């Protein structure tokens, strides 16, 4: 691998730009509609003028929002000698003073996982994981080619499977807020069948599809964990057939963090810096902390950002 170029995520980057354009320009146009629909037909009211001013300002503010989203995901190109930032700035690795391959960093209004580089003159460059398809490959490139001076990036080691001596952290569905929302909504919408008009194949079919969608949403917050001597296994309390097996040798770091509206999440950073997140809202504080102890014993770094604890990571793991 001699040169690596950025690939933005379609969903997180282009999707954000498109949705914000539809929302802000659409709402702005809706606010200005009464003014233009009555212009020249009848006297303009104060409310219509206020709507016009608000609509124009709100639509134009999309320019700033688009710029902020764009600034959070600049183009980059890396090779063995330099980083080309956004097609206009070049940073050379000989001027690199600090490199943080994992961690949470701030930019504009958000704080997220990413990579940070500080060059001579205190010039800071940050790239966020969720904005790029291939930032994991970039991190691996930085570690092995830039830091360790290796000529190529080797493929991460993948060991053989081993599932004996499991320690199970099952949790409980009754701790997950989305599970309560799931029960509440399916109970509430069942009242539509009080009206006999809805008691037909179409009505029951729509209701079944609605329940299935809500069940999938609730399942996304109810992952649980099994740990063996060589594997971290992710299963799901509401999705019995689901299983994700991660070899311990392929894991670089584990992060306890918050996703969405306060939902506790287990994020796994692999040796190749690709990340996977599993919302485990059903696990108790005790299970989270006990899992951390077990991961420490296996030599893994665990970054705790959400579970109250006075116990610190063993000193030998911080070095």
Least Cα distance to 33 among 48, 46, 50 occurs for 48
The CATH code of the domain that includes 295 is 2.30.29.30
In a domain, 250, yes or no: yes
In a domain, 185, yes or no: yes
Q: What percent of the chain has pLDDT over 70?
A: 88
Q: Which residue blocks in 163-304 are alpha helix, DSSP H? A: 177-189, 201-219, 285-297
In a domain, 74, yes or no: yes
Average pLDDT of span 268-296: 90
Q: What distance lies between CA 106 and its chain's CA centroid?
A: 15
User: How high is the pLDDT of residue 312?
Assistant: 65
Same domain, yes or no: 235 and 248: yes
In a domain, 267, yes or no: yes
> What does residue 41 show for φ and ψ, rounded to 5 degrees?
-100, -45
Same domain, yes or no: 214 and 232: no
Same domain, yes or no: 41 and 138: yes
pLDDT band of residue 317 (cuts 50, 70, 90) is very low
User: How high is the pLDDT of residue 266?
Assistant: 93
Helix count and strand count (H, E) for the chain:
8, 16
**pTM, to two decimals:** 0.63
**Per-residue pLDDT at 196 exceeds 80:** no
> Dihedral (C-alpha) 20, 26, 27, 33: value to the nearest 10 degrees?
160
User: How high is the pLDDT of residue 108?
Assistant: 67
R_g of the chain computed on alpha carbons: 25
Same domain, yes or no: 8 and 148: yes
Torsion sign across C-alpha atoms 237, 241, 247, 253: negative
Residue that wins the pLDDT comparison between 147 and 251 = 251
Q: Which DSSP string do the residues of 176-209 spell out, in sequence order? A: -HHHHHHHHHHHHHGGGGGSGGG-SHHHHHHHHH
Distance CA 234, CA 181 (A): 23
Q: How many structural domains compose the chain?
A: 3
User: How high is the pLDDT of residue 318?
Assistant: 42
Structural domain of 206: 177-219
> What does residue 233 show for φ and ψ, rounded to 5 degrees?
-115, 125
In a domain, 161, yes or no: no
**Per-residue pLDDT at 234 exceeds 90:** yes
Same domain, yes or no: 243 and 289: yes
Average pLDDT of span 216-224: 86
Residue 24: strand, helix, or coil: helix
CB of 117 within 8 A of CB of 95?
Answer: no
Q: What angle do CA 264, 268, 270 make, to 5 degrees?
A: 170
Q: Per residue in 33-61, pLDDT tens?
A: 887 777 666 676 777 788 888 889 988 99
As a whole number, the mean pLDDT across the chain is 83
CB of 197 within 8 A of CB of 214?
Answer: no
CB of 22 within 8 A of CB of 59?
Answer: no
> Dihedral (C-alpha) 314, 315, 318, 319: value to the nearest 10 degrees?
-140
Provide CB contacts within 8 A for 257, sequence distance 6+.
104, 113, 264, 265, 267, 303, 305, 306
Which two three-digit tokens encode residue 309? Answer: 């604890």
Q: Per residue in 120-171, pLDDT tens?
A: 988 999 998 888 888 888 888 888 888 888 776 555 544 444 545 688 888 8
Q: Per residue in 64-109, pLDDT tens?
A: 888 888 878 888 999 888 999 988 899 999 999 999 998 888 876 7
In a domain, 160, yes or no: no
């Amino acid at each position: 691998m001699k040169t690596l170029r950025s690939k933005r995520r379609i969903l997180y980057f282009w999707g954000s730009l498109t949705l914000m354009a539809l929302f802000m320009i659409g709402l702005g146009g809706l606010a200005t509609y009464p003014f233009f629909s009555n212009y020249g037909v009848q006297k303009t009211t104060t409310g219509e003028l206020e709507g016009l001013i608000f609509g124009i300002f709100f639509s134009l503010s999309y320019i700033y929002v688009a710029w902020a989203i764009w600034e959070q995901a600049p183009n980059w190109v890396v090779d063995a000698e330099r980083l080309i930032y956004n097609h206009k700035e070049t940073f050379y690795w000989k001027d690199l003073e600090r490199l943080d391959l994992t961690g949470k960093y701030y930019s504009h209004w958000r704080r997220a996982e990413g990579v940070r580089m500080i060059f001579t003159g205190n010039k800071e460059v940050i790239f966020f994981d969720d904005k790029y398809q291939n930032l994991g490959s970039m991190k691996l490139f930085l570690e092995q080619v830039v830091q360790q001076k290796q000529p190529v990036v080797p493929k991460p080691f993948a060991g053989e499977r081993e599932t004996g001596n499991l320690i199970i952290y099952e949790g409980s569905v009754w701790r997950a807020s989305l599970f309560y929302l799931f029960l509440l909504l399916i109970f509430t919408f069942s009242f539509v069948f009080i009206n006999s008009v809805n008691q037909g194949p179409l009505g029951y079919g729509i209701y079944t599809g609605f329940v299935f969608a809500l069940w999938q949403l609730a399942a996304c917050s109810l992952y649980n964990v099994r740990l063996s001597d060589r594997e971290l296994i992710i299963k799901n309390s509401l999705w019995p057939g689901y299983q994700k097996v991660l070899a311990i040798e392929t894991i670089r770091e584990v992060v306890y963090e918050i996703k969405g509206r306060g939902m506790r999440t287990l994020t796994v950073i692999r040796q190749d810096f690709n990340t996977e997140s599993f919302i485990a809202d059903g696990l108790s504080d005790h299970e989270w902390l006990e899992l951390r102890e077990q991961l420490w014993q296996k030599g893994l770094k665990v970054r705790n950002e959400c579970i109250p604890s006075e116990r610190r990571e063993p000193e030998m793991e911080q070095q």
